[in-house]
Every structure is written in structure tokens, then in C-alpha cells.
Amino acid sequence: MLTLSAIILNYKDPELTARSVQALLESAQAINVKAQVVVVDNSATETAESLKKLLGDDITLIENRENQGFSRANNQGMEVATGDYILLLNNDAFVNSETLHMGLNYLDNHEKCGVWSPKLVGLDDKFQVSCARLPSLRGLIAEYIQFKNLDWYPDLEKWNEPTDVGNVVGAFMLFRRKLLDEVGMLDEDYFFNVEDVDYCKRIHEAGYEVIYDPRYSVVHIGGASQPGKWVNDPYMHKNRKIYFKKNHGAVQGIIAGLVIWTGLNMRRFMMWRAGEL
């Protein structure tokens, strides 16, 4: 029997987490997969008791006394994972049995696949962009200064075959456990955001593919646009500078920082002029 360890983080929303866990367990049971679910609670014990009541005794629960961030909390889960396959799953993502079955089957039949990820859709079935090219300075300049996004695939919504992409988002990342022996775990220098991009780059560097498979989908509540959120994100811009420094050296790290600083201030000035600040 195939064994799967699913790592799901909770942050102050035990009901949503419990729904995600239930969907995962039902899907695993439907395809005869033995599932170990590890829930890591980053709520500083605020919701620990509610989680225990909602999840039951069959779920492994790790309680953090303070928010450890996305990378560290997922690593905590992977440290106790026992399955042949590992799934990093957001608590606002709901797995169906067909997608889980086909993801495991794809990994089983494609040795060069490092990580497999399906299409993400909202509750309204609306398409969500969930993969991109790996970041480049040219792409960074376009995004921050020219208000363009060169790192996205312009025809992504029309794809209908599994494709090796630069990176996929961390809402659903399925891979063999043995990948950890070659690539390691998530980089804990990233508290939240960009850690999934960094991990996909390391997977590519180890000689594996990062597969985005639009034939199958997972419902994901997140991804809704929120005005001002991008500009004021407390982690994204800092972590992008870390990414360039780690992966491309100090000079590109400095250039990335200047581009990001300039772009953010341009946007803040525009928002101020429009009365949005």
C-alpha cells in the first residue's frame, strides 16, 4: 500500500484546517492510500484545544508556542513524516481523490519528476495562476518598474498537458520522500513567501523537473486580489532580495534590493496621489 504524509499548517483557523484534513483523508481512503496527516499549529497555542477536538486522535499535531513561519513549520512536519510520498498542503486547499491518485501515479512513472502540482481553482472554479518562470532581474525590473509580469506564462490558462515549469506555489507540492535526501528541506531563512520558489530552484539544480499538471485541479480558497496587500506585504519583498542574494550572488542581491525599493516607492506615491494611502 502506498503511504503518504501530508503536512498542513494551521494559523488561527481550526475549522478551515479540519475541512482540509477531512478532504485529504477521504480522498486517500478512496484510492487505498495510507495517509499520515501532520498538522503544525502556528497559532501560539491559541487554537490548540479547538484543533484537538476537531481533528481527533489519529492526526499528528505539533503545537508551536510562537509562529514559526511557513518554512520552519513545514520542516517540523517533514521531520516526523513517515510516508513514501510527502504532500505540502495549504489549509485552504481541498484535495479530491482523482487529483491525488493521478499525482502519485505521475511520480511513480516519471523518475525525473521532482515535484508535481495540479491546477488551482477557486470555490467558483475560477482559474488561479499557480506557477511561473524562476525569477530573473529582467523580470523583477519589469514587475516593479514597468508594471508588467514577464515571469508569468502568458498562455498558462490554455495549457492542457503536464509541463516542466520554473516554480509552483506551495499550496500543493507533492514529491517523493527521497527527494529530501538530495535537496533537503525548505530554507528557513524565508519566514513566509518565496520559500517555494527557492525550493523549486534547488529541485531543478538537483536535475529534476517541477511539473505543473493542468489536467487535474484542487480547490484553493486563497489567491483573491486584495488592494494594497502586494505593496504592503511584510515578507515578499524582503524574501525576494534574499532569494537573489542566495541564488545569484551579492551583486544581484543589491541590484534586486534597489529595484524593489524603487518600485515600491513608485507605487506608494501613486497610491498617495490617488488617495489610497
Residue 22 within any structural domain of the chain: yes
pLDDT tens digit string along 154-174?
A: 999 999 999 999 999 999 999
Q: Note down the domain range covering 22.
A: 3-137+147-225
Please state the rounded mean pLDDT for residues 240-248: 97
Please state the rounded mean pLDDT for residues 132-142: 97
Coil, helix or strand for 20?
Answer: helix
Residue 250 within any structural domain of the chain: no
Q: What's residue 228's pLDDT?
A: 56
Quick check: 26 and 97 in contact, CB under 8 A?
Answer: yes
Q: What percent of the chain has pLDDT over 90?
A: 84
pTM score, two decimals?
0.94
User: pLDDT tier at 276 (50, 70, 90 boundaries)?
Assistant: confident
Total domains, the chain: 1
Q: What are phi and psi of 7, to 5 degrees?
A: -105, 120
76 has a pLDDT exceeding 50: yes
Indicate the average pLDDT of the chain: 93
Measure the CA–CA gap between 87 and 83, rounded to whole angstroms: 10
Write the CA distances from 8 to 63, 236, 267, integer angstroms. 12, 21, 34
Residue 162 within any structural domain of the chain: yes
Residue 252 within any structural domain of the chain: no
Residue 98 within any structural domain of the chain: yes
Q: In CATH, what number is assigned to the domain containing residue 126?
A: 3.90.550.10
Residue 255 within any structural domain of the chain: no
Residue 263 within any structural domain of the chain: no
Measure the CA–CA gap between 216 and 44, rounded to whole angstroms: 35
Closest Cα partner for 80 from 61, 104, 58? 61
DSSP string, 175-188: EETTHHHHH-S--T
pLDDT tens digit string along 214-234?
A: 999 999 997 543 445 788 888
Q: What's residue 224's pLDDT?
A: 43
Residue 253 within any structural domain of the chain: no
